[in-house]
Structure 1
């Protein structure tokens, strides 16, 4: 199963990114484990210094932007 981490400290952009992930999953019909990471120490462990960020199966896909559902769908499809 795909694991998606939404990294951010709880700001509006981070919440929007999380919503966009859920929308992308519905669009693609994929099932994934979605985790929200708000702890700055945990975020840094991903090598991320700018949020929001999106990590798919351990790989940073988007950094410092709110990716659209279509952009997310393109990177989560197998």
Structure 2
């Protein structure tokens, strides 16, 4: 098998937040970082409080990558966000 022919899997990224300024800032930062890193990703914003609670998140904004909560309750610095996206 030639591994160079494999395409990276598309990431599913969700920004959880009810619409506050920090939530909107995280969404913009995620979209910018995905673009800067040329990642294949679907980025969506989850504002429904019931759906947010299903992730067990108590503080927003929160970041979910491929179904796993990786950040909650704060805005990450640019470098930290890019590290989270490339792990």
- Settle same-fold status: TM greater than 0.5: yes
TM-score, normalising length: structure 2: 0.84
Count of residue pairs the alignment pairs up: 78
> Structure 1 stretches of 5 or more lacking a match?
none
User: Any runs of at least 4 consecutive aligned residues in structure 1 with deviations exceeding 6 A, and if so which?
Assistant: none
Residue number in structure 2 paired with 1:24: 33
Consecutive unaligned residues in structure 2, runs of 5 or more: 1-9
TM-score (norm 1): 0.92
Q: Name the structure, 1 or 2, with higher relative contact order (CA <8 Å, separation 6+).
A: 1
Residue 15 of structure 1 and its aligned partner are, at CA, apart by: 0.3
Aligned residues: CA RMSD: 1.1
